[in-house]
């Protein structure tokens, strides 16, 4: 797979980093809420 740019711009890499970080935080938050409701309903 040829890549026209040897390294992507810094802004694009930061955007990907922030997006993946937010997805990770959201997944952990959702998992904690599900576990909380499962262990102690009500």
pLDDT digits (tens, 9 = 90+) for 5-38: 556 799 999 999 999 999 999 999 999 999 999 9
At 28 the pLDDT is: 99
Q: Give the predicted TM-score (pTM) of the model.
A: 0.63
Residue extents of the structural domains in the chain: 10-42
At 18 the pLDDT is: 98
Report DSSP state, residue 7.
S
More confident residue, 41 or 26: 26
At 8 the pLDDT is: 76
At 40 the pLDDT is: 86
Q: How many Cα atoms are found within 13 Å in the side-chain-facing hemisphere of 10?
A: 0
């Amino acid at each position: 797979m040829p890549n026209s740019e040897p390294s992507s711009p810094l802004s694009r890499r930061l955007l990907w980093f922030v997006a993946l970080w937010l997805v990770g935080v959201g997944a952990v938050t959702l998992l904690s809420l599900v576990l909380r409701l499962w262990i102690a309903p009500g």
